[in-house]
A and B are shown apart, each in its own frame.
Chain A
Amino acid sequence: MKELLSCAMDIGEQMLICGAEVHRVEDSIQRMCLARGARRIDVFIITSSMVATVYTEAGDTYTQTRRITSTGTDIERLHRLNALSRKICCEAMTAEQIRDEYQKILGCKKYPFGLECLFCAIITGSFTLFFGGNFVEAGVSFVLGVCIQLLVTFTEKAGMNKIFIKFICSFLASSLAFLAVKLGMIPDIDKVIIGNIMMLIPGVGLTNALRDLFTGDSIAGLLRLIEALLVALAIGGGYFLFVCTVGGL
């Protein structure tokens, strides 16, 4: 049972990191343990910490906690972890088998970095057009998208604070857009910046915050909401710093 709880916590931890709602993770851990003969299980999860206690039929209790420090949305991994947790509920898997599958899932690939950069550029370019920009502006925005993705990857690898990264990105995007205006490529910076803001906005954070908040996990929801608002403020801050630097628009 101890082994199983540890496996269940590992799976739950990764699910949470990959962008699952708190409710789903709590539910998964509960189901896994109950299906494997726990008498009772209490799980409490917020975005940065997990606690679970299992009561076995034999009368033993086991408690484990996890501290979660990183997040990184990865839907494919989430999908596979979810499938694994369902499988554990209905098939008799040994702890080793679960570990094996779990390691396999952790090793599953992301899209190649080049492709990610390309699609970042497509996002920023698309939304510049979407909000009424012309094709030249979309082109500038496209190039900026690549710059931002490079910057994000580089700074994340260096272990920089996520909120500060957004701040820098926002400042960089505004400055480069301004440069393009000065070079006479585009008439004004508005549409280009909007395209890049769409890229930086914490969409996953906000959506999950709402879903958590209104399904009864108010603490987790509030934490996520505040995190998302801080990111939004950082984006605004980057833009303000730029405007102050160039001395008004």
Chain B
Amino acid sequence: MTATELIQIITGFLGSLGFAILYNIRGKKLIAASLGGFFSWTLYILLGFGIQSEALRYFLVALLLSGYAELMAKLFKTPTTTFVIISLIPLIPGGSLYYTMASVFESDLNLFLDNAVHTLELAMALALGIVATSAIAKMVRKKG
């Protein structure tokens, strides 16, 4: 693991913690939710050793971390939203969104399209992961 990756894991955790505070999450839930942010980026980097595709890694992390969120929600008897929102914050493609915006001014259509498609790919992967888990969780809950 490189220094950059280590910094990303730490700052990803701090960012999640920050949002957890802003959304008024308290007590042990605060720790569980911010740890979700830590796990998500750690997992993303670990998956990078086997999987090249960024989008696929986004999907898998979103899938697993939403599962983590469902578990925590069960444990703390609280709505799942709490943990889903916070855990997946490091995955928000803010950087690639910005570069898409900035490339509008580069008058280079290809660069813009590349960036836009990349952002969309990541966002879709993230969305699919969240949706898949919430569908599975709903099924499990109905049976149980």
What residues make up the interface of A, taking CB atoms closer than 8 Å to B? 19-21, 24, 73-79, 82-83, 86, 110-111, 115-116, 119-120, 122-123, 126-127, 129-132, 190, 193-194, 197-198, 201, 203-204, 207-208, 210-211, 214-215, 232, 236, 239-240, 243, 248-249
Closest approach, in angstroms, between the C-beta of B80 and any C-beta of chain A? 8
Residues of B within 8 A of A248 (CB): 105
Question: Can you pick out 29 interface pairs between chain A and chain B where the beta carbons lie within 8 Å of each other?
Answer: A19-B81, A21-B79, A73-B22, A74-B24, A75-B78, A76-B24, A76-B25, A78-B82, A111-B21, A111-B24, A115-B21, A116-B22, A119-B21, A122-B17, A122-B18, A129-B7, A129-B8, A130-B11, A190-B98, A194-B95, A197-B94, A197-B97, A198-B89, A198-B92, A201-B97, A203-B19, A211-B134, A215-B134, A243-B105
The 6 closest A-B pairs by CB, nearest first: A123-B18, A126-B11, A198-B94, A119-B18, A126-B14, A130-B11
Query: Which one of B4, B19, B92 lies within 8 Å of A132 (CB-CB)?
Result: B4
The verdict on B143 contacting chain A, using a C-beta distance below 8 Å, is no
Interface residues on B, range: 35 or more
Given contacts A120-B22, A193-B98, A201-B97, 17 further A-B contacts (CB under 8 A): A21-B79, A24-B79, A73-B23, A78-B79, A78-B81, A79-B79, A82-B77, A120-B18, A126-B11, A126-B15, A126-B18, A127-B15, A132-B95, A197-B97, A198-B94, A203-B85, A203-B89
Complexed CA–CA distance, A136 and B135 (Å):
44
The verdict on B88 contacting chain A, using a C-beta distance below 8 Å, is yes
Which of B74-128 touch A at CB < 8 Å? 76-79, 81-82, 84-85, 88-90, 92, 94-95, 97-99, 101-102, 104-105, 127
Q: Is the CB of B134 within 8 A of A214?
A: yes
Complexed CA–CA distance, A38 and B85 (Å):
35
Closest approach, in angstroms, between the C-beta of B20 and any C-beta of chain A? 8
The verdict on B142 contacting chain A, using a C-beta distance below 8 Å, is no
What residues make up the interface of B, taking CB atoms closer than 8 Å to A? 4, 7-8, 11-12, 14-15, 17-19, 21-26, 29, 76-79, 81-82, 84-85, 88-90, 92, 94-95, 97-99, 101-102, 104-105, 127, 130-131, 134-135, 138
| Most central of A120, A210, A239, A243 by chain B CB within 10 Å | A210
Complexed CA–CA distance, A86 and B17 (Å):
28
- Counted as pairs of residues, one from A and one from B, with CB atoms less than 8 Å apart, the total is 136
Q: Is the CB of B105 within 8 A of A249?
A: yes
Q: Is the CB of A20 within 8 A of B131?
A: no
Q: Is the CB of B8 within 8 A of A215?
A: no
Query: Which one of B81, B105, B135 lies within 8 Å of A208 (CB-CB)?
Result: B81
| Most central of A73, A115, A215 by chain B CB within 10 Å | A73
Residues of A within 8 A of B130 (CB): 207, 210-211
Q: Is the CB of A204 within 8 A of B79?
A: no
Residues of A within 8 A of B26 (CB): 76
Q: Is the CB of A203 within 8 A of B81?
A: no
| Most central of B8, B12, B101 by chain A CB within 10 Å | B101
Closest approach, in angstroms, between the C-beta of A247 and any C-beta of chain B? 11
Q: Look across to chain B and name the residue whose beta carbon is closest to the beta carbon of A135.
A: B7
Complexed CA–CA distance, A204 and B83 (Å):
11
Complexed CA–CA distance, A130 and B24 (Å):
23
